[in-house]
Every structure is written in C-alpha cells, then in structure tokens.
Amino acid sequence: MKSSRFFAILISFFLTLLLSVSWATAKNSSHEAFLECLESHSETSNPISAVLYTPANSSYSAVLQSYIRNLRFNESVTPKPQLILTALHLSHIQAAIICAKIHGLQMKIRSGGHDYEGASYVSDVPFFILDMFNFRSINISIENETAWVQAGATLGEVYYRIAEKSNVHGFPAGVCPTVGVGGHFGGGGYGNMMRKYGLSVDNIIDAQIIDVYGRILDRASMGEDLFWAITGGGGSSFGVVLAYKIKLVRVPSTVTVFRVARTYEENLTNIVYSLPASCRQVA
C-alpha cells in the first residue's frame, strides 16, 4: 500500500518536471523564433541585434526603467517585456510590426513613457516594447513656420529647438518638458497656450506612420480618416507614428509668467482689465 503511494507521488513528480521542461523549451523556441523573425525582416546593413535587449542582457533593466515615468509600475511584481527593441532604423519598426503579427506577441509602443496607466510598457499578456527614444530629431523651418518632430522627442526638446531658431515662435503643447511627442500629440495635448491656439493637434498639419502592413504613409497616402484618428484618438491603435509636422505659432518675444491669487470680492476683474491687452490674450 505504502509503496504504491510512493510510486504515485514519484510519477506525478516526474510528470510535472516533464511538463515544466517542455513548457520552458517551447517558450525558449518561440522566443528564438521571434528573434529570428526580427533578424530576417530587417535590413542586414542595420543589424537589429544591436538594439535588442532581453532579460539576459545586463542593460535590460536600465533600458526598461529609463522611460518608466510612473514609479507604481516599476516594481518587481510589474509584468516585464520579453524584449525591448530600441529601434534605430525604419526597418527595425517594420520588422517589429510584422513579427508581432506572425508570432501573436503584443507590441507596446513607447515614446516618452508618461502614460498614466503605464500602457506603453505594462501588459497582462506576453509582450515586448518598441522603444522610440532614438527617433527624436526636430527639423524646423522658420521660413515656413513649420517643423517635423519625431515621436521620441520630448516637449522640452521641441520648445528648446524652436527657441534656438526664433524668439517669436512657439508651439502649444503640455507643460511637462519630459512628456513624449508620440503619446502627447496622439492624444490631443493641452497647455498654457490652449486659450489662444487650441490643442497641439489643432496645429498638426502632417504625419508619418508605419501601418499594420509595414507601409510608411504620410497624410496624403494614409487619408484624412486615419490622420484624424492619430491626432487625438491615440496613435497606438492605428500604427506606429514616426513623426508629426507641426505649424509653429507666433508668440511675443518676451513672455512674463506670474501667479496672483485674488477672489472676485478682492477686485479680480479690475486686475485682469488693468493688464495690457497682449497679456490678457495669453492669460
């Protein structure tokens, strides 16, 4: 009786061991297959292996944490990506989209990492991160009063680059300088100039996106519906936004910012009317 119980325990132990080994082997082989897919769908002249970080890589945690802006999601229990792809080249993004589809692995797109819910770097299902921080160039044309801004740039960088070229131009967007262009412009973008110039998306005139088929599209080729969707509807539902073309707005060469706390009973309206008209417009 005793020996049959012992054998039953032994068999169940070996069965559990066998199942765990085969599960781990299957997981490893699907991970390997995903890596191979990325290699085969990107250009050999721009090796994708140089920008891939798996948990086995010593820089994995640093790369993951560098754009986790909500520390609630920087805990040991927070689900972690199987891989982080810090794309440097368009073909890296195309490969990520195509291979995510082939292998059914969820892709999270991260620009500035300021999503309140950690939507760009947390998931309840197996996932990887497409990190856009290398796509952060800003090309300004003061002559045309426009700029092409890549998704991985921050708002602070946008303001700084505009100010380098002109002291009478600006762009209406958020107040936090480390917020990313990718998520901010995709979702609307409000800030100090909203009353005069509206939201960021009211001043976006073109965009570049890589769609679900890996095609690079601009406003003309994506069509007005998709352009409308990625300027307020949240870009990640529709593709990977590479860049937005923005219309610069005119600002006074000197802007004074101050705060005065007064109630209506304390002559609030008189204070507002005593300001010069230009201040009232911006205030």
Ligand X SMILES: Cc1cc2nc3c(=O)[nH]c(=O)nc-3n(C[C@H](O)[C@H](O)[C@H](O)COP(=O)(O)OP(=O)(O)OC[C@H]3O[C@@H](n4cnc5c(N)ncnc54)[C@H](O)[C@@H]3O)c2cc1C
**Residue numbers of the site for ligand X (CB under 6 A)?**
69, 108-116, 119-120, 132, 151, 174-176, 179-180, 182-184, 186-191, 234-236, 240-241
- 110 versus 219: smaller Cβ distance to ligand X: 110
Shortest Cβ distance from residue 166 to ligand X (Å)?
A: 22
Shortest Cβ distance from residue 67 to ligand X (Å)?
A: 7
Q: What would the two tokens of residue 120 be?
A: 């760009």
The answer to whether the CB of 235 falls within 8 A of the CB of 115 is: no
Look up tokens 């990977």; give the residue.
Answer: 240
- 69 versus 92: smaller Cβ distance to ligand X: 69
- 140 versus 240: smaller Cβ distance to ligand X: 240
Shortest Cβ distance from residue 193 to ligand X (Å)?
A: 11
- 47 versus 234: smaller Cβ distance to ligand X: 234
Shortest Cβ distance from residue 26 to ligand X (Å)?
A: 28
- 120 versus 231: smaller Cβ distance to ligand X: 120
d(CA 129, CA 93): 11
- 41 versus 110: smaller Cβ distance to ligand X: 110
Shortest Cβ distance from residue 188 to ligand X (Å)?
A: 6
- 188 versus 198: smaller Cβ distance to ligand X: 188
Shortest Cβ distance from residue 177 to ligand X (Å)?
A: 9
Shortest Cβ distance from residue 252 to ligand X (Å)?
A: 21
- 112 versus 214: smaller Cβ distance to ligand X: 112
Shortest Cβ distance from residue 176 to ligand X (Å)?
A: 3
The answer to whether the CB of 109 falls within 8 A of the CB of 187 is: no
Please give the residue whose beta carbon sits closest to ligand X in the complex: 183
Question: Would you put residue 272 in left (φ > 0), alpha (ψ -120 to 50) or beta?
Answer: alpha
Radius of gyration of the chain (CA): 25
